[in-house]
Structure 1
Amino acid sequence: MDQLKLDIVSFLESRKEIIFERWKEKIIIPTENDYKKVILRGELLFEVMLHAFSLEKEALDQYLIKITSENAEYLKINETTNFSYIIYNANIAKNEMLIEVSKYHSSWEEIRPVYIKLSETIDRFLFYVTNYYTSLKDEQIEETKHTSKNNHEDRLTLLGQMTSSFVHEFRNPLTTVHGFVQLLRSENPELPYMDIILNELEQLKFRITQFLMLSRKEVLNQEVTLFSLNELLDQIASFIYPKLLEANVELERELEDNLYVTGYIEEIRQVLINIIFNAIDVLTEQMTSSVIKIKGYLTEDHSIVLETSNTGPKIPEQLLNTIFEPFVTTKKTGTGLGLYVCKEIIEKHNGQLYCTSDDEWTTFTIKLPPAETKNDETRED
């Protein structure tokens, strides 16, 4: 360090008490109990600045990083309420030190580089303090996210245990009732309301299957197969027909021929019924004309796209970002699990499920990979 810098450092040390008296008159103290702590921080800042002032850039950065980390707890830079005071009071100290430098008995041209170097040194120290604080806050946010995610997983585990034990007990008598109703209908076709009863039982079985899939303890007796999406939608249309009539909702279908999917047919059926039921629930609440439109087609790479659109109200943007998360629902009696299960199933099939919404249509889009087995057979023919 050249002689001028040494002289200015000595000068500032000799003026320390005066600098501190002016500084103490201008600083802001968070609370009365913090007064002594703030004064100690000011003294530390003064010593750090004078030492850092004598270092070259590379050594300066290493020193400031080290001193910030070592004194983080002492400076309380992890506390939001105190951090703003630290920055403000440090800037007051900077100004007071620079005022003293400007009073040094030398020409301005001589002291100007020293003045700038001291100012930059203090600014650099505040940069590392701010950076350290930001890093701490980022870690806290990530930890909070991780904790929140774990809480979701714990809730899902608990829900799975509860539903698995309850629903298994519930499904056995339901299967018996369903079987005898089918037997009654075959033996007594003239009995009224049998179709309605069977339809309601089917819907109840569907809801039970939904919970069992969520619990992840249900091993469905099924295999991966190649099936026609066109035929599956024909079956679903028949299944939901009574509910469409009841809700006065029109179903429109626009499907290309020979749409084939490789996967678990019951799981894909689960997804489609759930999305359509959700649309019917939304449309039931509006007085205007209600339409559900299902459009299916192949892309250029033979991926299958199925778009289920409804004329219900627009979904707010903030809800679109969370609509597939567990326990998120707009229904008064909803569990917020249906779309979460749907997304899990589609992703299990290496596909994508997403939602778009505007003032005219709300569309749930399913994209599934090509059914290569069927495509290969077609090409061979």
Structure 2
Amino acid sequence: MDQLTDEVISFLQQNETNFLNKWKEKAMLPPDLTQLQREKLDSTGKFIFQVALHALSLPKADLQSYLQANAYKIAQIQIRENSDIEILVYNLNMAKNILCEKASYFSKEMQTLKKVFKHLSYIFDHFSYHAVMHYSRLKQQLIEQENRHIHSSHEDRLTLLGQMTSSFVHEFRNPLTTVQGFVQLLRAEYPDLPYMDIISSELDQLKFRITQFLMLSKKQEANQEEVIFSLNELVEQVASFVYPRLLELKVSLQREIEDSLYLKGIQEEIRQVIINIIFNAIEVMVTTDAESVILIKGYRDGDSIYLEASNTGPKIPDTLIKDIFEPFVTTKKTGTGLGLYVSRQIIEKHHGQLLCSSNDEWTTFTIILPAPLQKE
């Protein structure tokens, strides 16, 4: 450190109070500042002043590590006070201007102080850079920590729900199986008995809902094998299964499916996804006065099989569509928000994707699954 710099530092130290008063007068402050925050602002101004003067005295070899260490400290303060980074950058720049102005009073010969001004600018520019860098990293860490906490809480809720429902659903399934058995006996002994098809269909739908809860609890039996099956035949089975509901609510089901489409996976699980999407479409369309239409398209594109299920129900708001596959998110008044979540889990388990798009005319759920290498 040369004599001129030493003398400027001594001069600035004598004017510390004057600097702090002017800095507080011109500094940008967060809105609704409390008395405690004002006191902390005073200490921040003093911290900046002391860092700048000490940095002036350091050799170039030690300067960067010193600025980085103190930039990290001031970034921590900003994060802790929940203060925006642009306020810090503005206040650092203001501190530089005030220090340069104060230093100009040391000598009337500006050329004499040119080196000091240049050094101060270098110090504050690098101090601001490191402060912004550390602030951004700390903020990102904070966001990631909050996201992990939210995800953990989410998983805890699902685990608790799974534990609660698994026991209940298993107990409920036993008498349901008994009822289905007696329905089959009645149909065999009295083939002309009325309403048996309706009873059987409703029991199948109830079993389907139970399966959803079992999958959510992650305790469903894992004895199902992957097979190669016809998507065309599966859609036909689903159409027959949902037909009574379509007829009851006057919903038109239209199909445009290419011939000979095959998938590899657990057929019952894919069937569950398609039924769930169609049931959701039926339930949302009954709330509108427009014509109720479900259009199912199936086609192959490259190495992928696409199945699109579109409905003429109301548009899903843009604010909701990005979270539509999250658990407990639903557009239905009586919905649980679990059906689409379970459906996505199934499709992703089959190495596929489940997507959603919505406009004023159609809401479309698209299933994308890898095509099997061979049919047999």
Is the counterpart of residue 66 in structure 1 residue 93 in structure 2?
A: no
Once the two structures are TM-superposed, the CA of residue 76 in structure 1 deviates from its matched residue by 6.2
Partner of 2:265: 263
Of 104-113 and 349-358, deviating more is 104-113
Distance 1:260 1:26, change over 3 A: closer
Unaligned runs of 5+ in 2: none
Partner of 1:53: 56
CA-to-partner distance for each residue in 1:43-101, whole Å, 9 max, x for gaps? 3322210121244666422111112345766x565211597876665555433311112
Q: What is the distance in 2 between the residues matched to 1:330 and 1:355?
A: 14
* 1:361 partner letter: W
Is the counterpart of residue 324 in structure 1 residue 325 in structure 2?
A: yes
* 1:321 partner letter: K
Q: What is the distance in 1 between the residues matched to 2:314 and 2:101?
A: 64
Q: What is the distance in 1 between the residues matched to 2:255 and 2:372?
A: 21
Q: How does 1:120-135 map to 2 (within 5 A)?
A: 120-135=122-137
Q: What is the distance in 2 between the residues matched to 1:361 and 1:217?
A: 36
Distance 1:121 1:345, change over 3 A: same
Does the 8 A contact of 2:351 with 2:369 survive in 1?
Answer: yes
Once the two structures are TM-superposed, the CA of residue 106 in structure 1 deviates from its matched residue by 4.2
Once the two structures are TM-superposed, the CA of residue 353 in structure 1 deviates from its matched residue by 1.0
* 2:374 partner letter: T
Distance 1:262 1:19, change over 3 A: closer
Q: TM-score, normalised by structure 2?
A: 0.90
Q: What is the distance in 2 between the residues matched to 1:186 and 1:111?
A: 106
CA-to-partner distance for each residue in 1:298-343, whole Å, 9 max, x for gaps? 1133x21111111112212222211111111111111111111111
Distance 1:279 1:339, change over 3 A: same
CA-to-partner distance for each residue in 1:217-273, whole Å, 9 max, x for gaps? 111542111111111111111111000011111111111111111111110111110
Does the 8 A contact of 1:78 with 1:136 survive in 2?
Answer: no
Does the 8 A contact of 1:222 with 1:264 survive in 2?
Answer: yes
Q: How does 1:81-96 map to 2 (within 5 A)?
A: 90-96=92-98
Does the 8 A contact of 2:24 with 2:45 survive in 1?
Answer: no
Q: How does 1:200-219 map to 2 (within 5 A)?
A: 200-219=202-221
Q: TM-score, normalised by structure 1?
A: 0.89
Does the 8 A contact of 1:78 with 1:133 survive in 2?
Answer: no
Is the counterpart of residue 355 in structure 1 residue 362 in structure 2?
A: no
Partner of 2:284: 282
Across the two proteins, how many residue pairs are aligned to each other? 373
Q: Alignment identity in percent?
A: 55
CA RMSD of aligned residues (A): 2.6
What SS is found at the alignment partner of 1:222? coil
Distance 1:84 1:288, change over 3 A: closer
Once the two structures are TM-superposed, the CA of residue 297 in structure 1 deviates from its matched residue by 1.2
* 1:12 partner letter: L
Is the counterpart of residue 42 in structure 1 residue 50 in structure 2?
A: no
What SS is found at the alignment partner of 2:191? coil
Is the counterpart of residue 365 in structure 1 residue 366 in structure 2?
A: yes
Once the two structures are TM-superposed, the CA of residue 103 in structure 1 deviates from its matched residue by 2.3
Q: What is the distance in 2 between the residues matched to 1:368 and 1:21?
A: 67
Q: How does 1:1-381 map to 2 (within 5 A)?
A: 1-23=1-23, 30-33=33-36, 37-55=40-58, 59-69=62-72, 75=77, 77-80=79-82, 90-301=92-303, 303-374=304-375
Distance 1:240 1:61, change over 3 A: same
What SS is found at the alignment partner of 1:368? strand
